[in-house]
Structure 1
Amino acid sequence: MRTRHASADDLASVGFSVLRSALATNILWLGALKFKQYEVENDEPLVTSSPLFSRFREKLGAQKLNRLIGVSEITVGSLIAARPLAPRASAIGSFAAVGMFLTTLGFLATTPGARQEGQGMLSLSQLGQFLLKDTVLLGAALLTAAESLRAARPR
């Protein structure tokens, strides 16, 4: 019976490592893409329809706004990945990711093309489906935040 418990703990440990690595990799990769022109163009419908981001876009322009978002994402991804060396910093990065994913989920409400026209509120377009995946990433960020906080506790 004790062996089963140890195996479950080992599996959970491996799962958290995979989850953290995948979360950090996704955020880092997407942050790096923010420096590409096609990504600036892809993000235009999201930022122009957002009450918060449209103001930043007016002040900074599309390219600078995307670069600012990219730098923020690279910072967040790096902090999450720092867990073996700096669990508190990793927790901060995970909480920042929570904020980031709550923000992107807000685009479901503000972006006109996020739903299929004439199909009802729950019928998401391809863009809406793309945004909805952030619910999974939000859960991953919450779990990695909790795990990092546990690791940062003095023993």
Structure 2
Amino acid sequence: MGIRHASADDLASVGFAVLRSALATNILWIGALKFKQYEVENDEPLITSNPLFSALRKKLGAQKLNRLIGVTEITVGSLIAAKPFAPKASAVGSFGAAGLFLTTLSFLATAPGTRQGGQGMYSLSLLGQFLLKDTVLLGAALLTTADSLRVARHR
């Protein structure tokens, strides 16, 4: 009698809230790690093999470039999380996240070691698998962009 069954809209609402929170948390956390020396070292093979980032690395140095990336990620993650207060800003942050994930996906083509040696083109290494998960995050960023825009239009 008093038990209410969840509707598809209820599930979608909860799903979007979880998706947005997880997306913002992941981006904020990864952005904060860009200030750690081990992360600068871990990113080095990705950075130096990418034409755009290798040029930026030459200009700024590895540590400053990682910090710039970190500040960008922290800004994007913060904007995504701001949806309850500023849905338009959140849409900008989510769209920025889509750009971040498209950029990291480009490393699949430029970074050495993304394929498992001797196993064929479609056999991803651990690094390749790590990068491939950004396709899911790209989808999340596009969905949260649309969700924020929808809310902003109704205000």
The question of a shared fold, defined as TM-score above 0.5 by the shorter chain, is answered with: yes
Distance 2:51 2:83 in 1: 34
Structure with greater helix share of residues: 1
Once the two structures are superposed, the pairs formed by residues 59-78 of structure 1 within 5 Å of their partners are 59-78=59-78
Deviation at 1:95, TM superposition (A): 0.4
Residue 110 (structure 1) aligns with: 110
Distance 2:124 2:154 in 1: 46
Residue 41 (structure 1) aligns with: 41
Distance 2:73 2:126 in 1: 23
Identity of aligned residues (%): 82
Q: Summarize deviations over 1:35-92 as a string: whole Å, max 9, x none.
A: 0000000000000000110000001010000000000000000000000000000000
**Aligned letter for 2:48?**
T
Name stretches of at least 5 consecutive residues in structure 1 with no aligned partner: none
Displacement over 3 Å in runs of 4+: none
Say if 2:140 is the partner of 1:140. yes
Residue 80 (structure 2) aligns with: 80
Distance 2:36 2:84 in 1: 31
Distance 2:48 2:109 in 1: 13
**Aligned letter for 2:29?**
W
Distance 2:111 2:11 in 1: 39
Deviation at 1:154, TM superposition (A): 3.3
Residue 96 (structure 1) aligns with: 96
**Aligned letter for 1:101?**
F
TM-score by length of 1: 0.95
SS of equivalent residue, structure 1 residue 112: coil
Deviation at 1:7, TM superposition (A): 1.5
**Aligned letter for 1:148?**
S
Name stretches of at least 5 consecutive residues in structure 2 with no aligned partner: none
Residue 153 (structure 2) aligns with: 153
Distance 2:90 2:126 in 1: 32
Residue 28 (structure 1) aligns with: 28
